[in-house]
Amino acid sequence: MKILVSDPIAREGIAKLQASRHEVTVRSGLAREELISIIGEYDALVVRSETKATREVIQAARNMKVIGRAGVGVDNIDVDEATRHGILVVNSPEGNKIAAAELTVALLLAMSRRIPQANASLKSGEWKRGKFLGVELFHKTIGVVGLGKIGAEVSRRALGFEMRVIGFDPYVSSEYAQKLGIELADFDRILEESDFITLHVPMTKDTRALIGREQIARMRQGVHIINCSRGGILDEAALAEALESGHVAGAALDVFEQEPPPANHPILKFDQAIVTPHLGASTQEAQVNVAVDVADQILDVLEGRPARSAVNMPSVTPEVLATIEPFLRLGEKIGKLHASILDGRLNAVEIAYSGDLAQLTVAPITRAILKGLLEPVLTTEGVNMINAPAIAEMRGIRVTESKTTESEDFTSLLSLSVITDKGSHSIAGTLMGRRNLRLVRIDGYHVDMAPEGLMIIATHTDQPGMIGRVGTLLGNNRINIGGMHVGRQEKGSRAVMALIVDDPVPPPVLEQIRQLAGMENARLVEL
C-alpha cells in the first residue's frame, strides 16, 4: 500500500515505515490544492501539525484507510469527516508525557532556586550570591491538579524529592492515588495547603480560569505556581497582581492564553517569573517516540491489526450499527449529562440494560456511555469509544454491566448510575419509536424529555410557587423556556425540575435560581 508522510517527523519513524513492504513517499510543505490532487493515491497519511486534513482533503482521499498524527492533538484533522468515510484516525498520546513531566520538574527546581535569574546576573558581570536565596523542595507540599498521564509522572518525581504530594482529580479513585503513593485532596485543600501548585488539566469550560483572584487569595503566602498544561487555565492578570503584591513568590509558565504572548504581557516584567515558549514536548526523545509510535500504528492498521490509540470509532458491520446506533447516541448523552451534575470523586459506574435492549450487542453502548462521561473533563486524554474503558480502568473507576429481559414500563430501558465519594446519581433513558431519544428518570424521579440543547437540572423542595418563581426569574432575564418537566415522589417532598431553555443562562442568573428558598441546587447542562 502507499503511505504519504506530509510533515517533518523524526527519521526513526520514517525508517520504520520504509522497512515495511509498503511504498513510502515523504513530501512536506504541500499546498492545499496539491495535497487534494494527490491524496487519492494513498492508503495512509502521516501528519504533525502543519498539514490540515480538512473535509475537502478527506473527501478526495478515496483509498485512505488511516490518518496518523505524530503527537497528541488532532485539531488539524477533521475526525468526524474521517469517521464518516470509514477512515481510522490515530495519534500518540503517550509519546510526550515524560518530556512534559520533566519540564515541569525542571521549572520547579529552577523557580525554587532562582537559577535563570542567577545565571543572567552572573553573565552580566555581577557576583551577588545573597540576592538569590532559594527554598528547598524537601518536605514541602506540592499540590498536583490533574492526575492524568503527565500529572502522575510529575507526582512520582516529586516523591523522589521527598515532597508531600497531594493531588486533585475528580476522575481518579482513591485506589489509583494510593498506587501512586500520593494523598487525594479536594480542590480547596490544594489551594490552602500547598507550597507549590502545578497544573495538569485540559482546557474545558470548567477549567478555564480555574485559578483566578479568588483561588490565589486562598493560597499560602509565598506560594509558587507552575502551568505546563494549557494557557487560560490560570488567570494571567490575577497572577501578575499576586506577583506584584508578593503573595505569589514565584511562577513558571510554559503556556499562555495567547501564544506567543505580546511583548507587553504583564507576567514578562517580573523577575520572579520564569517563562518558556511551550516546550512541553520539545525533546529529541519525545519527537522520536511519537514518530515511531504513530508509524507502528499505521502499519498495524494497514496489515489488519488493531491500533493502540485510535481517536474515532472503528468500523462495524452495517447491520450491527443500524440496530445499536440510536442507543449509542442515547448512552453518550446520558453519560455527558452525568458528567455535568455529578459531585465528588468518581468511583464506580453501573450500567443496566433492560427489556429488548438486553438482547442486543451492548459493549459498544457501554463504550459510548463512558466516552460521554469522561470526555468533557479529560479532553487531553483523547477519550473515545475505543480507549474509554482502558482510561476508566487506569483511573480505578469500577465499571459493571447488568442485563435483564424484564422492563416494567418500557420496551427497552438504559439506566446509568454513577457513584462518587459524595453520593450517587442515576439517569435512565429509552427510545420512543425508532429515533426519538427520551430521558425518563433522574435520580428515581419520573421525567419525559429529549436530551438535547440547553437544560437546567434543579433539585428542590416541592412547594407552591417554586415553578413560578423560577419561570419569572428566567422571564425577567429574557430567557425563554422551551419545556419543563417536574418529577416528585410525593407531595411536599424532594423534587427534580428539568427545564429546556432556548437561550444561554448567565452564571449570575443560575446563582439566583440556586438562592431561591427551597432550592437545593441547579446546574446548566448542554447536550
Query: Going edge to edge, which strands form the sheet with 141-145?
Result: 183-184, 164-168, 141-145, 196-199, 223-227, 248-253, 273-275
Closest CA to 411 of 341, 359, 454: 359
Q: Would residue 230 show up in a list of annotated catalytic residues for this protein?
A: yes
Q: Which of 247, 278, 514, 523 is catalytic?
A: 278
Query: Going edge to edge, which strands form the sheet with 519-526?
Result: 481-488, 494-501, 454-461, 519-526
Helix (H/G/I), strand (E/B), else coil: 161: coil
The C-alpha cell that represents 187 in the structure block: 480542590
Rg (CA), the chain: 26
What is the Cα–Cα distance from 48 to 72, expressed in whole angstroms?
9
Number of other CB atoms surrounding residue 287 within 10 Å: 22
Closest CA to 338 of 247, 278, 417: 417
Residue 10 half-sphere exposure, CB side, CA atoms within 13 Å?
21
Give the β-pairing of 88-90 and 66-69.
Answer: parallel
Give the β-pairing of 196-199 and 183-184.
Answer: unpaired
DSSP 281: T
Give the β-pairing of 196-199 and 141-145.
Answer: parallel
What is the Cα–Cα distance from 292 to 304, expressed in whole angstroms?
18
E-strand ranges in 211-309 read: 223-227, 248-253, 273-275
124 CB-near residues (< 8 Å, 6+ apart)? none
Q: Which of 230, 338, 345, 441 is catalytic?
A: 230
Q: Is residue 118 exposed (0-12), middle (13-18) or buried (19+ Cβ within 10 Å)?
A: middle
283 CB-near residues (< 8 Å, 6+ apart)? 96, 99, 102
Residue 67 corresponds to which amino acid?
A: I
Cis omega (within 30 of 0) for bond into 314: no
Number of other CB atoms surrounding residue 34 within 10 Å: 12
Query: Going edge to edge, which strands form the sheet with 412-420?
Result: 398-404, 346-355, 412-420, 423-432, 436-442, 445-449
Q: Would residue 452 show up in a list of annotated catalytic residues for this protein?
A: no
Please report, for residues 109, 111, 143, 201, 350, the alpha-carbon distance to residue 252 in angstroms, rounded to integers and kept in the order given.
10, 7, 15, 16, 41
Where do we find the cell 428542590? 460
Residues acting as catalytic residues: 230, 259, 278
